[in-house]
Amino acid sequence: MLEGMFSHQWIDVLSQGLANNCENPTSRARIWDRDAEGRTMFWDSQAWQGIEEYQQFIFNSHAAELAGNLLKATEINFFFDAVFVRSPGTQFSTPWHQDEPYWTIEGYDTCTIWMPLVPVKKKNALAFVPGSHLNNLIFDQYNFGNLNPDGKSDVDQVNFTGIAQESIPDIDADPERYNVVSWDMQPGDCVAFNSRILHGGSGKLDENQELKVFTSKWLGDDARIKFRECGMDPDHSEIMTQYGLKPGDRPGTDLYPKIWEAEVH
């Protein structure tokens, strides 16, 4: 967790972008959870090409440089954005998971920057199992396509049956055993994490508390395209193919622009 990493000006820019995003969601957007009281968890992804404020952040903030320094990379490409908006009092909690096994990317040099745009308490923030990115286990992971109470069609699906080596443990039953960490956070703070780390648990809000989060995904030196037989979420394989990108390629083109390069001394 990095305190005060982004100025309030950037929070204002992203907040305006998120408002625009919610008013004009992409075709990928959907409600992940809707309870009996009508409280929802809204998700959208890959909206940046249509949201000017997101573009400003991606190209002009120091997020790419931050990812490059953390990864000790020679160059950083932008991968995609995702937003999570929970109504006040929402009890939906994100299932524990890793990110990379769902992606059309394979590689260790990845960085997600998780940014709350409103204050968030430690008990409601995204939580992590430290060190869980250091093993090469393939977990039997959750199919986020099941989070679809409105029955939206053409939702990405994954199925790790047959390739999973281990089930994700019941982390919530004994968080101390797994040294689970999360933090009280203010707008401007962020958490930067590797896509292989086990994370989840954000949510279960107080009645007067909302949660608005902008995340950006960044790719370092060893990231390569991979089309996975278990399915991908988000599945970029079709658009990658249209742009001439194939498995084993370094991500590029204006879909995954290179934003930052290390200085050569």
3-state secondary structure 27-84: CCCEEEEECCCCCEEEEEECCHHHCHHHHHHHHHCCHHHHHHHHHCCCEEEEEEEEEE
pLDDT beyond 80 at 265: no
pLDDT above 70 as % of the chain: 100
pLDDT tens-digit readout, 46-105: 999 999 999 999 999 999 999 999 999 999 999 999 999 999 999 999 999 999 999 999
Helix or strand (DSSP H, E) at 224: strand 224-225
* Mean confidence (pLDDT) of the chain: 96
CA distance 7 to 9: 5
pLDDT beyond 80 at 121: yes
Torsion of CA 252, 11, 114, 1, to 10 degrees: 120
Q: What is the pLDDT of residue 164?
A: 85
Mean pLDDT of 5-14: 98
Place of tokens 């396509």: 145
pLDDT beyond 90 at 165: no
pLDDT tens-digit readout, 15-33: 999 999 999 999 999 999 9
| Range in 128-137, 183-192, 233-242 with the lowest mean pLDDT | 128-137
At the top level of CATH, the class of 8-255 is mainly beta
SS3 145: helix
CA distance 126 to 113: 12
Mean pLDDT of 124-147: 93
Q: What is the pLDDT of residue 119?
A: 97
Q: What is the pLDDT of residue 67?
A: 98
CA distance 194 to 114: 11
- The domain locations on the chain are 8-255
Beta bridge partners of residue 213, listed in sequence order: 84, 116
SS3 242: helix
Mean pLDDT of 99-113: 96
CB within 8 Å of 6: residues ≥ 6 apart: 61, 63, 115, 188, 190
pLDDT above 90 as % of the chain: 94
pTM: predicted TM-score of the whole model, two decimal places:
0.96
Q: What is the pLDDT of residue 202?
A: 79
